[in-house]
Structure 1
Amino acid sequence: MEPISDLRIAVICSSNMNRSMEAHAFLAKKGFLVQSFGTGDKVKLPGSAADKPNIYDFGITYDEIHKDLLSKDKTLYTQNGLLHTLDRNRRIKSHPERFQENKDLFDILITCEERVYDQVLECMENREPVTNSIVHIVNVDIQDNLEEATIGAFLISDLCMMLSKSEDIDNDIDEVLHDFEEKCKRPILHSIAFN
């Protein structure tokens, strides 16, 4: 399939599990060049209690996490949607990836919460630019639950469609983000960094 645009997009949340993967799936179906990442130190998933999360290292496969949760409590992780989420994830790629360890170049980095946005900014500021091309970092706040992740994927898809129509994204992005913010009624953060 021919890509819908030549924009290289990354969607980033904390664990590369829910919000970034839902948007990744959505954008890939629409034909965007998209990758997804997390910025956390570990992949953290809800457990049997709030103080007992399931914690994994980045690099573990979605398949291994699925098997682990299945063996711990199939009913709980079916009811809370985690097994379904992992099923979707392993159809997209093999494992959660950490943004700070990736060296690919992007045009747009879309984060799903302000803390992740700050981590991405810090990472980009500490990186030695390779090409000095501009990368736009945009934050759209999305709560970390299944319903919000779906709504967020629609919003991110709308934003990417709007950006893909621009002839000169560096010039047009402020206007596009302003229009998008009016439409989605969520505050948007935007910064630039260099690849």
Structure 2
Amino acid sequence: MPASSSSAPPLPRPATPPGIPPPEAHRMPSKLSYGVVCSSNINRSMEAHVVLGNAGLRVESYGTGTQVRLPGRSAMEPRIYRFGIPYEDMYKSLSANPEDEAFFVRNGVLQLCRRGAAVKKAPQRWQDMPSEFVAEHDVVIAFEERIFDAVIEDLQIREPTENFAPIHVICLDTKDNPLEAQKQGQVCLELCWRLEAAQDLVTEAPEIVDAFEKERMSHTPIKLLYQLCYL
């Protein structure tokens, strides 16, 4: 039986290489607020949440799916949870017996749940967040084109907030596996440092994204999309 974690101390936050920000990006606290979004808020967006947060940037993470879907024993048998279920509860469910625990250690899902529990309580669904909360983000980075589209569609159907502020939505296309998420987490941080250095993000963001894509495409295939929204 897995040991109970009810009285255990909080899990340590995962360590990540912070990178060396350019001199002009050294600000405390970070100038911008970032939202990072994937489907289930457990792999790609959580990796970026850890990386950006460890580097001192203000960041929150979300998913856009209808449910949190985790790989199961086959493509036809995913483990499904609702948004708001704590990562710790998912971990307990997936390790309820030795056979399941061994399987979900091998496929990496238990490690993702542990990582999530070390950072925040539970996965959050982007579409369910209050507009006033969403509007606090200056930049939203989606890790797949369909998620980028879902974020933009959601922003377009929300009632405008009182401030009606710009939100820069960027797609940093990333395969949904832990290795690619780890690679793109560092790429995401590089991009965010450049955005932090902008004096006028509305004017400069399209050029920053375009230049970043051209530079990074020389040694890693990254698909970048950009859309300016208001909320």
Please state which band the TM-score falls in when normalised by the shorter chain.
over 0.9
1:136 aligned partner:
168
TM-score, structure 2 normalization? 0.82
The number of residues matched between the two structures is: 194
* 1:108–1:29 Cα change, 3 Å: same
Q: Which amino acid aligns with 1:109?
A: V
1:153 corresponds, among 185, 200, 204, to 185
SS for the counterpart of 1:190 is: strand
1:75 Cα deviation (Å)?
A: 0.9
SS for the counterpart of 1:182 is: helix
Find the structure with the greater CA-based Rg: 2
* Whole-angstrom CA distance in 2 between matches of 1:4 and 1:30: 11
SS for the counterpart of 2:212 is: helix
Give the fraction of aligned pairs with identical amino acids, expressed as a percent. Answer: 36
1:58 corresponds, among 73, 79, 83, to 83
* Whole-angstrom CA distance in 2 between matches of 1:60 and 1:89: 11
1:98 aligned partner:
125
1:67 aligned partner:
92
1:20 aligns with 2:20: no
* Whole-angstrom CA distance in 2 between matches of 1:55 and 1:129: 33
1:3 Cα deviation (Å)?
A: 3.9
2:196 aligned partner:
164
1:84 Cα deviation (Å)?
A: 1.1
1:182 aligns with 2:197: no
1:184 Cα deviation (Å)?
A: 2.3
Runs of 4+ in 1 over 4 A off after TM superposition: none
Is the 1:3–1:33 Cα contact (8 Å) retained in structure 2?
Answer: no
TM-score, structure 1 normalization? 0.96
* Whole-angstrom CA distance in 1 between matches of 2:75 and 2:215: 35
2:56 aligned partner:
31
SS for the counterpart of 1:15 is: coil
1:42 aligns with 2:67: yes
2:104 corresponds, among 77, 80, 86, to 77
* 1:3–1:16 Cα change, 3 Å: farther
2:3 aligned partner:
none
RMSD of aligned Cα (Å)? 1.1
2:17 aligned partner:
none
1:4 Cα deviation (Å)?
A: 4.6
Tell me which protein shows more helix as a share of its residues: 1
Is the 1:142–1:148 Cα contact (8 Å) retained in structure 2?
Answer: yes
SS for the counterpart of 2:168 is: strand
